[in-house]
Structure 1
């Protein structure tokens, strides 16, 4: 595995090498700017940046644009850089369902458990690294804490980083090249089939049955629910677990702490917690998702079953019952009134309500389909 480093990072590595009294464990700093690797699959670029007063190391995979993130970048911490790198690769590829064996094959395929480092000179590859940095700046609520940066956001940024305009998305590109050079990827994915039921008062509930990989986070589950209920993610949300704990969006948590909001109970950031961290066959099999604290859309969630697959698996909608509900309509009572008006052309407010709901009705006609939702869900995670 080879890393092309900017001058600043290369100097930090050399300083760490002096502190170690020789070489850094599993890392060799090369005198020239070349790479001993024969394949881009094993090459990365690294830069050090400051974002919101935090020092980060940003690594981008040369071929695909996959991105790894690290906090605390002084020379002393670089003594443990290989351990950091290995842990981040395991976390990122593990979210795709790679087995331990397949990840280890990638880490050791070319030069064993060693990294070589040399000076970065390819401006195109440096540009891809800069593109990842710009994505981090756009996601300003990444700064929840070190775990969030190194886990959830490196996954999201990897998905988005397509600065070289390659034909395939980053994860798909990486997997394709991996299988070309190393061989088939072995997968193992633990899943939960969950029923998400939007409680509608006197009206029939709106139900979605979803398969969710357990290595994904509650933030991913939030995004999946938003997609299959055709919500616009324009309001606050929270998960209320069976054990009483509360899980909210990372930005919500930052704002609560900044303005000293909230009660005695601690709220956890959704991007910090994988589903497998909280949901087990014994605990939290039933919980609640609330979206829009004004309209108060309450979704009852029940885990129907746990199972495993030895293949690549994405979130998937397997069954849907009932139409999505428009936002900003006043909750279940407001929706009941909306149906009364929209279904009665003689009602005094029919034309006004129909014009207000034009966008919703158009999306309902075009996109309210299992296949469409599943296409979007797959695109969100590959």
Structure 2
């Protein structure tokens, strides 16, 4: 694997790399830079790599100067973990990395690659600012995932554009001969009882998906804004007593000291032993989503997570729970109601019916 270093990164590593070997398959070559995310901080903290064949981005945050001693290990792990974040076939990823070989540093001399890695760094900085602002000493080697969902190379013609993650997956499939997707999958049916109707979603998710990502999916498919606390709970079907509860962080234990932090838990820790889980969002409005296991698919060969079906519009944030939503909806259905105009302005773009584009089957992008 050939890593072309920018001048800044080469200087930080204390190396004088040779020129790039143009005979190497560009799928095995990357351009790397070390840059800052925050303008008000003195040191660089973001490592960015862009694949020279596919524009696929891999990024690691935080990488301080002391961390550069183990840079090769970090790069290998980051490439692997970023690829697996797309729920790819592990065999395909491992074969690609095996074909790539050991890391060798070279000097970056491509103006195009410099521009690509700079643009990728900016996109990753926006993502970090949105997701991790204010978190000290955090570390993630998959912060590049979101960048690869953005179309590139479309400045001259829209038809020339492509998505880096799709280009990378196709190139790896052609190289290795392995199928790109091969996962154990749970089909889940999720219902939110709104009294006047039930909002329902059916989805496919990897069995080994974290509950942190399951929370992101719930926010996405029910159009929540991630403003409030939440938990996942398992209840005894006979007694109705809560048997197990997962919360997002240590701070949340102050509200429920019998709960467990979800950090190391994945869906297969609960399913299929339990058939139902309740996801509660916003402990004030108390939105309870019943998550039911429909079936287990042992080998699924499609992109994940995936929305199979969506029925029923979801409430706007902070509407006041089910009771508040029923009253809100009643007003929205009556343009002659004295509160209609103010309620409509408050709810902004909310509509009575679920739009067609939100109900059609589609890949769920949680990044």
Match of 2:359 in 1: 370
Q: Distance in 2 between matches of 1:265 and 1:48?
A: 43
> Where in structure 1 are there 5+ consecutive unaligned residues?
16-28
Correspondence 1:43 to 2:7 = no
> Where in structure 2 are there 5+ consecutive unaligned residues?
235-243
Please identify, of 157-166 and 314-323, the stretch whose mean Cα deviation from structure 2 is larger: 157-166
Q: Distance in 2 between matches of 1:100 and 1:365?
A: 37
Match of 1:66 in 2: 57
Preserved contact between residue 287 and residue 321 of structure 2 (Cα < 8 Å): yes
Cα-to-partner distance string for 1:327-355 (whole Å, 9 max, x where unaligned): 33222111211333344566544565456
Preserved contact between residue 142 and residue 149 of structure 1 (Cα < 8 Å): no
**Structure 2 residue corresponding to 1:127, chosen from 86, 103, 115:** 115
Distance 1:186 1:317, change over 3 A: closer
Match of 1:228 in 2: 221
Q: Distance in 2 between matches of 1:145 and 1:160?
A: 28
CA RMSD of aligned residues (A): 3.6
Output aligned runs, 1:324-335, within 5 Å: 324-335=314-325
Q: Please report the TM-score for the alignment, with normalisation by the length of structure 1.
A: 0.75
Q: Distance in 1 between matches of 2:258 and 2:36?
A: 33
Matched residue SS, 2:350: helix
Matched residue SS, 2:166: helix
Q: Distance in 2 between matches of 1:333 and 1:213?
A: 35
What is the aligned residue count?
A: 346
Preserved contact between residue 49 and residue 117 of structure 2 (Cα < 8 Å): yes
Preserved contact between residue 128 and residue 163 of structure 1 (Cα < 8 Å): no
Distance 1:333 1:49, change over 3 A: same
Distance 1:161 1:9, change over 3 A: farther
Q: Please report the TM-score for the alignment, with normalisation by the length of structure 2.
A: 0.77
Structure with the larger helix share: 1
Distance 1:278 1:37, change over 3 A: farther
Q: CA deviation at 1:70?
A: 5.3
**Structure 1 residue corresponding to 2:201, chosen from 208, 231, 245:** 208
Q: Distance in 1 between matches of 2:223 and 2:167?
A: 29
**Structure 1 residue corresponding to 2:173, chosen from 172, 179, 188:** 179
Q: CA deviation at 1:358?
A: 6.4
Output aligned runs, 1:298-337, within 5 Å: 298-337=288-327
Q: Distance in 1 between matches of 2:219 and 2:25?
A: 40
Q: Distance in 2 between matches of 1:149 and 1:163?
A: 27
